[in-house]
Every structure is written in structure tokens, then in C-alpha cells.
Structure 1
């Protein structure tokens, strides 16, 4: 499977549209809805793409009656949700109840596995344990109905105290593309099993892995404030925006990279070819299949793989930016002048590294996780796909 940083670089933009950019308040899903011809068209599309979805509650801490599932996202530009019977319904302002929030929760079977249906759409499968999430239907900038997503890294968010997490997916005529994600936070251990041309599983947290990840983050002084009780660990980028993480954490490493590659070359290999770069006039400038250059990034740029490390889907700047972002987060740029580094044994070896990502990778059985936006560089993300899917299974693992 070709790493996604060498194929489609829009994932980080999707994450931000779904709430990843929220700081002071929950974000509105930013893809503008449009007026569908009618619910019949939506129902027809849903029926055509219906994929069996099984939810398995092996949490061991919460019974089925205390687990709530939400499937929300977009279909052809309109914001939608999945109902209990597997049909699509548009987000509507009238869905807000007396408390000001929607109730889009899907309930689990009284016991055992729960059978649902997943239509064609892109979005997230949220799980909430113990109590329901507070999604709110609002108007977007164009006056259309939109949905505010939970932001577990924002203390004022109405769902902040709710134990929850999510998986991401795109399901369309081309297949199923899905992942578990810790880009924003890590809370509920879950795995995805995708059946089709073959059977694949990703995201499985090893026995005791959740507790080990929480403990590992707590042991690092700069990262310890990111642990929110036993609810979740917040990703350091969101921690930075919330004042919980140092804005200059990566500055010494960034400075050393800039200094080192003023005097020697760094090569970055992508599907477009090999780029060779040096720092000139304080910009990291690469030649090769195209000329691309980058200003010195900030710690926030590194953690979000954004800003000066933004990766447009252009086939040249984007792939190089993704590899650089991965190299900073994994702290491999100084130890290996030929990127990307492909051996996990060489990741996170320095004291100054992304200890959050290190901890959640160590918590999974296969060492794969989405600890930052381009963790798929060299194929280390908890991502799977199938062009002929027949079923998908999401399992909540024991705590």
C-alpha cells in the first residue's frame, strides 16, 4: 500500500474541518452543505452503498446500555448523520432539543454485538461511554445547517467530561478507507477490522496499553499536563493552543536541524522522485523534480504539520513537507540525512521528541497509530483500506 503522504494530502484538512482546529469552542464542520434534491436521492445512495457495520463492546467497564454511537459526516458536500436503521438524514437546526443539543445517538443491542449499516459518506464514528455527547446543530457562515463536533481538548466544551473517542472513514464507490485516530487526543482504545479482498485490522491496543500510554506521558514533565484525569491524553498541538504545552518546545531541535543542513545536504525521497536540500538564506530549499522551500517552522507548525510545513496536494511540496513533519515529530532528521527514516527502532530516540506520539505507538500491538497528521509517512499510521469491502467491525477494547 502506497503511503498516503505520497498520494492524497488532504487528510489534515479534513481533520481540521471536522473540529481539529478548535481552540476556544467546538468547531463547526466546515464543508458547506448544499440542498439535496430530496431525501429519496439520499436514501437511494445510502442503500446502494450500504456496508454492514458491527459494533463490539469489549470495554469491560461499561455495559451496552451505557455506550452510545454516533455516525456523522458529509455526503456530496451536505452534512449528514446515520440513523439507527442505516439511512442518512441531513443535519437540521430543528434537531436541537430543549437542552440546545441534538440527540443523534445510536443505541447498542441489549447484549452482544450490535449490527448497523454504513452508507456512502465520509465522516467519523464516535463512541461515548457513560453518557451522551452534546452535538449542536448551528448555522454555518452561509446560513446552512452545520454540526459542532466535540472538542475534548477544550475545557469549556460541553462534552469535555464525557469519555469518548472516534474513528474516521471515507466510504464510497471506490471502497472503504478508514483509520483510528489519535491526532487530537487518545482516550478510548478501539480497533477496526475491515473485510473485503482480505481481512485487515488496525488500532488494536495491547493489554494494559491505555494505562501504559497515560503513565508514559505523565512521566515527561513537559507532556504531563496533557493528561486529563483518566479521561484522555490531549495531543500536544492542542495542548500548546490551550496553554498546557510549551510554544518553544521543539525550538532547540529545529535550530539544530537548520544549522546542520546549512553545511550539508538532506535528501527526501517521494513518489515524485528524490529532492535534495540545504538551508540557504534561512529557508530549507530543495531541488529535484521541482524546486520547493520552507521557512523555519515553529513548534506548533511541527505538531500540526501545518504553517510553514503545510502540505498542499500538489505532488511536490506536499510530500516533502509531510516527510519533514514526520522527521521533526520522530526526531530523525539529525540522525539520518536520507529521509524518510523507515525503521521504527530509530524513531523517538532523543529526549526532545514527540513523547505523546511515542507513547501511543508503544500502546498498540502493531506499533501503528495516528499520533500526528502525517504519521502515515513510511506507513506507520493505523490506517487500512479495501476497494471491495464487505463488512467493517469496530471493537471497543478493555481498559
Structure 2
């Protein structure tokens, strides 16, 4: 299975100097280059917001074709990003308008990237040169107050479409704003991401009411993920420290079992490190709150089959507050998640909001299959629905 982490190939999170924009610096996966010679996959955009007319909604399809950063035109053509695409205002206009009424059908070429939706105003993508002199896009960063897209209501879904099939997800890893659902038709019919009735407002309310999370709510525009909130001074950098300390203390005197596809690892905290033996030898320094929220730093997960899977499971357990109480990981019973006072209440609210209980509230939310992710090896069409507010 291609998870969101392998699907994206590590979308760079560095901010472009002086602009505050997020720069997509690395490839969003590696779709087959031969995709440009094949027919596109029908992509249907359905506006069911009940708040915005089709004329006030724009779509952007941006990403990577395996060799370069690209965008999709309204007629389904895959074009490379070019610095010359910046207009007099300094930004590109890659917007795809919706049809006058009803669903809008586009052709999705083979590529990997994001489908952005913007409501009430267009997004400003800036074409820049990356460190290698290649054209790249500075993506919207709705969690940065100085970003030119900060006041625009927008959100995105992620996908890879290649010779192996379609792999896609809704994501709240960075923020949550526009309720989106994806439907994938192919070998079977699948949907994910659909919110319960009234759930958008409840997400805002639940996050605002959680201790330490209230400043992550930006009016009625978006809720910022706590990791980005931490970097912006809106969330305490040591918020999860007591819970992390408690877990490290617990496993100084008992074993932690972590089972991956490679087998079962047995861990103990020795000399401050959580060290495992088993199919391989791996060790982790005690993570910070930021490491847990971003699933990075000491919890970074390389695609190596040993360290990576263990790191992902530890990161998920810390976000879901099950690590101390469950000595066999991963925990697969969702009723055990988010039960502690110190937990990722943002992810908790997102999972409570969806009809299927699945969401991408943090980067390792795919652990044990709780992510709003679907795939199909024989896709026929993809539908992205902007659901009611």
C-alpha cells in the first residue's frame, strides 16, 4: 500500500524567504513519465457547500510528474511550472474555474500532487527557482499570518495517479478549513473524508474548547494543526512533555512490544533512549512535543522497513495517547484513542467529525488504517466533493 508518507515523498515544509509561502521543494512521489501519453482520469468536482456558488470556487491541480513540478490546465494539459508564469502581481494564475452549474469534469493526467479548492477568492501561487535552479511553486501556507493566501478560504486533497493506480486522501495534517470528501470508482466503489452533519462547526468548537488548543482556531476560516501552531507561537512547545516523560518512565521498568511487517521489536528505555531489539536494532531519543506533532525529528521515519515503521507506530501512539497504557503497539481499538487529558485534541476532533471515523490529523495517522485514504489499482473516475458547511 502507498501511504500518504510515501505518496508525498516528503513535501518540503520550509518557508520561502520573505514570502512566508511553503515551497514544494521535493518530488510528490514518482509517477510514471509515460503518463503524458495516456488518457487522463476523469475528475469530477462537485460543489455542495451550500455557501458558495460555482462562480466563487476555483480549483488548482499542482504537483510533480516525476521529473519536474507541473500544473494542470482547464483542458487537462500537464504543463511545467515556469517562473515566467508569474503575472504583474508576482503570482501565477493556475486557477481552474468550475462549470456554471452542476458538476465540473476535468481530466487528471498521471502525476502526484494536490487538488486545492479556493472559495470566495483565488489563491496566489508564486513560481520561484529552487536550490537547483529549477522552477518550483511556493504553496499556500494558511497557518502563516503573513502568507498572501491567509485570508482566502481554501483546502486541499492529495493524490498520486500512476501506472499502478490511484492513491488519494483528504488531509488535515497542516490545517482544516473546507470540508472535502473523495470518491473513487474502479475495481470497487470507495469514499472517505465525508463529515457528519454540522461537523465543521463542531471541529472548530471542540478544538477551541480543548485546553491549550484554543488559539489554533482562526475565526470561522480554519483550524491550524498544533505543530504549525507551535511554530507560530500559538501552541505551547512543551504541551505534551509530561505525557512523553510518563511514557519514557514507564518503559524504563517494563518492555514495549512494537509489531511491524518485519516482525516484533522489544524495547526498553536505557540511558534515556528507547532502544529496541528484534528484526533490527533501533533506538530513539526522547522526542519533543514538536517531534510528536510533526512525526519528525527523533521520530522521523525513513523508508527502510525497520526504523521507519517503528518510528511511525511510536508517533501514532504518542499522538493518540496510548503509548503509556498499551505495552503492545500499534493499538488498533479506536475507543482507546485520545482518552488522556494531554493528547492531540486536534486529531481527536477531526476523527470524531468524519462519518467513517477516518482522518489525516497527523502524519502517521495511517498507522493501523485510521487515515482518510483510499486507493484502487484500476481507477475509472475520481470525485472531489466540497461538502456542506
TM-score (norm 2): 0.96
Which residue does 2:314 correspond to in 1?
A: 324
Give the gaps of 5 or more residues in structure 1. Answer: 34-40
1:27: how far off? 2.1
In the TM superposition, what whole-angstrom CA distance separates every residue of 1:106-165 from its partner, at most 9, and x where no partner exists? 011000000101000000000000000000011111122111000000000000000000
* Residues 1:51 and 2:41 are matched in the alignment: yes
Which residue does 2:213 correspond to in 1?
A: 223
* Residues 1:27 and 2:17 are matched in the alignment: no
Which residue does 1:284 correspond to in 2?
A: 274
Tell me: CA distance 1:30–1:202, structure 2 relative to 1, closer, same or farther (3 Å): same
Q: 2:155 aligns with which of 165, 168, 193?
A: 165
| Residues 203 and 368 in structure 1, CA contact (< 8 A), matched pair in contact too | yes
Q: Distance in 2 between matches of 1:104 and 1:267?
A: 49
1:229: how far off? 0.6
Which residue does 1:248 correspond to in 2?
A: 238
* Residues 1:306 and 2:296 are matched in the alignment: yes
Which residue does 2:377 correspond to in 1?
A: 387
Tell me: CA distance 1:23–1:143, structure 2 relative to 1, closer, same or farther (3 Å): closer
Which residue does 1:38 correspond to in 2?
A: none
Give the gaps of 5 or more residues in structure 2. Answer: none
Which residue does 2:105 correspond to in 1?
A: 115
Which residue does 1:293 correspond to in 2?
A: 283
1:49: how far off? 4.5
Tell me: CA distance 1:51–1:315, structure 2 relative to 1, closer, same or farther (3 Å): same
Q: 1:376 aligns with which of 363, 366, 373?
A: 366
Q: 2:329 aligns with which of 322, 339, 357?
A: 339
Residue 10 of structure 1 aligns to a residue whose secondary structure is helix
1:9: how far off? 5.0
Q: Distance in 1 between matches of 2:67 and 2:150?
A: 28
Q: Distance in 2 between matches of 1:96 and 1:380?
A: 39
* Residues 1:191 and 2:186 are matched in the alignment: no
Which residue does 1:36 correspond to in 2?
A: none
Which residue does 1:273 correspond to in 2?
A: 263
Q: How does 1:176-187 map to 2 (within 5 A)?
A: 176-187=166-177
Q: Distance in 1 between matches of 2:214 and 2:242?
A: 20
1:391: how far off? 0.3
Q: Distance in 2 between matches of 1:206 and 1:32?
A: 34
Q: 1:10 aligns with which of 3, 6, 17?
A: 6
Residues matched between the structures, number = 384
| Residues 7 and 160 in structure 2, CA contact (< 8 A), matched pair in contact too | no
| Residues 55 and 395 in structure 1, CA contact (< 8 A), matched pair in contact too | yes
Q: Distance in 1 between matches of 2:5 and 2:95?
A: 31
Residue 122 of structure 1 aligns to a residue whose secondary structure is strand
1:22: how far off? 3.6
| Residues 31 and 77 in structure 1, CA contact (< 8 A), matched pair in contact too | no
Q: Distance in 1 between matches of 2:164 and 2:37?
A: 16
In the TM superposition, what whole-angstrom CA distance separates every residue of 1:316-370 from its partner, at most 9, and x where no partner exists? 0000000000000000011110001101100000010000000011110011000
| Residues 2 and 167 in structure 2, CA contact (< 8 A), matched pair in contact too | no
In the TM superposition, what whole-angstrom CA distance separates every residue of 1:168-223 from its partner, at most 9, and x where no partner exists? 00000000000000000000001000010001001001110100000000101300
TM-score (norm 1): 0.93
1:21: how far off? 4.2
| Residues 3 and 378 in structure 1, CA contact (< 8 A), matched pair in contact too | no
Runs of 4+ residues deviating >2 angstroms? 8-14, 20-24, 44-47
Tell me: CA distance 1:317–1:12, structure 2 relative to 1, closer, same or farther (3 Å): farther
Q: Distance in 2 between matches of 1:363 and 1:234?
A: 16
Tell me: CA distance 1:76–1:163, structure 2 relative to 1, closer, same or farther (3 Å): same
In the TM superposition, what whole-angstrom CA distance separates every residue of 1:39-88 from its partner, at most 9, and x where no partner exists? xx98x733505100000000000000000000000002200000011010
Aligned CA-pair RMSD? 1.7
